[in-house]
Amino acid sequence: MRGLLVGNFGVGNLGDEALRQYFLERFPEISWIVVSASPSSSNEVPRLPTGIRSFFTSWWRTLGAYRSCDAVVFGGGSLLTDTESSFACFLWGWHARIAQFFGKPILLAFQGIGPFRTKRGEQWAQRVVACSSFVSVRDIASKRRIERWSLNRKVVQSFDPVFSLLSAYKMPNSTKNVLAIFPRNSYDTNLVLRLRQVLQSRAPEEILFVLMQPSSERPIVARIQKETSVQGSVLEVTSLAQLQEALGSVSRVISQRYHGAIAALAAGKEVMIIPQIRGDKLDELQGMLQRGVQSEDLLNQVEIGESVLRKTLNAIASAKEGA
């Protein structure tokens, strides 16, 4: 069976690349073609054009991938939200429209839906969900947003599948008082405030800045260090193995990164989460911790989402064989 995997891949963010890794590893029976912002191999195609510069990519290969695939899978992440970019919902909605044009089933897997700053962004997201034949979400807030739309769509409650990859790594707990900080690629005074509070209450022996999207996060680290007079070391991570190895020497984590936070949870570390806005993925994750959700519960939710997705893909493959 041929699957087209759509996501925010190829932008240099470890969290998104980990989602790609999950689908390629856990569904090896699928012949995947990956839609990427910077395709670098024969099984990758560029995003569909949405601006002048994007027309100079080999986007016609992407149309060919849509035409020849058996299913289009939107693979995890916060694709359908406009909290960071008002363009995002249109971008992924455009990809869904092309899938519709070619008559391909659309599967939304482990999605984060919303929150929304604009009515237009929410309308695009609603259209994508409405034309999908399978929907699983990674948090309760996403499920409730879809239910408010009254689309008569069954929604599978799951969790971010990268958590299952991270949980496979085992490590001893650190006895040193080392604080790891996962900054975002935009400055946030809440992070500086929280760091100052930690320094005053229980100052760490060492501070480690862990960068999951280094190109855009280095300037933010420099600004944080200048404002707090903290001269911690900086580590760039490009794989889950590097990420978990770094957490092995850490006792506490402050995270503005979603996958940095769930990596800390998987490693059994004390984690302080800093949401961007109320209702976003980090805010929902923080709420789950406050409700006492355990790692076993999260793994079970991932397994549920994976099982139902596999059944759906198998049904599509069987229908193709019987046609």
Tell me how far apart the alpha carbons of residues 134 and 316 are, in angstroms, rounded to a whole number: 11
Exposure of 80 by Cβ count < 10 A (0-12 exposed, 13-18 middle, 19+ buried)? buried
Q: What is the pLDDT of residues 108-144, one digit of tens each?
A: 999 999 999 999 999 999 999 999 999 999 999 999 9
Answer left, alpha or beta for residue 167, where phi above 0 means left and psi between -120 and 50 means alpha. alpha
pLDDT at position 62 over 70: yes
**Mean pLDDT for the stretch of residues 140-163:** 96
Coil, strand or helix at 257: coil
Residues 109 and 215 in one domain: no
Instruction: Give the chain's mean pLDDT.
Output: 94
Spatial neighbors of 291 by CB under 8 A, at least 6 apart, are none
Give percent above pLDDT 70 in the chain: 97
Residues 246 and 154 in one domain: no
Give residue for tokens 């897997």.
109
Residues 310 and 180 in one domain: no
Tell me how far apart the alpha carbons of residues 145 and 147 are, in angstroms, rounded to a whole number: 5
Task: Count CB neighbours of 124 within 10 A.
Answer: 22
pLDDT of residue 202: 82
pLDDT of residue 282: 96
Comparison of pLDDT for 203 and 9, the residue scoring more: 9
Residues 156 and 7 in one domain: yes
pLDDT of residue 221: 95
Tell me how far apart the alpha carbons of residues 63 and 83 are, in angstroms, rounded to a whole number: 29
Residues 26 and 83 in one domain: yes
Residues 23 and 143 in one domain: yes
What tokens were used for 185? 């690629």
Residues 308 and 250 in one domain: no
Looking up residue 63, the CATH number of its domain turns out to be 3.40.50.2000
Range of the domain at 235: 169-291
Instruction: State the alpha helices, DSSP H only, in 5-87.
Output: 14-26, 59-68
Residues 176 and 245 in one domain: yes
Bond into 115 cis (ω within 30):
yes
Residues 227 and 184 in one domain: yes
pLDDT of residue 53: 67
What is the residue type of 128? V
Residues 253 and 178 in one domain: yes
Q: What is the pLDDT of residues 267-297, one digit of tens each?
A: 999 999 999 999 999 999 999 999 999 999 9
Residues 101 and 143 in one domain: yes
Looking up residue 256, the CATH number of its domain turns out to be 3.40.50.620
Give percent above pLDDT 90 in the chain: 85
What is the residue type of 291? R
Between the alpha carbon of residue 297 and those of residues 114, 282, 284, 319, the distances in Å are: 23, 18, 15, 33
pLDDT at position 209 over 70: yes
Residues 13 and 153 in one domain: yes
Spatial neighbors of 78 by CB under 8 A, at least 6 apart, are 112, 258, 280, 281
Between the alpha carbon of residue 271 and those of residues 28, 186, 256, the distances in Å are: 33, 20, 11
Exposure of 259 by Cβ count < 10 A (0-12 exposed, 13-18 middle, 19+ buried)? buried
Tell me how far apart the alpha carbons of residues 191 and 92 are, in angstroms, rounded to a whole number: 30
- Work out the pLDDT band at 57, boundaries 50, 70, 90: confident
pLDDT at position 52 over 80: no
**Mean pLDDT for the stretch of residues 294-303:** 96
The Cβ-side half-sphere exposure at 238, using a 13 Å CA radius, reads: 5
Q: How many domains does the chain have?
A: 2
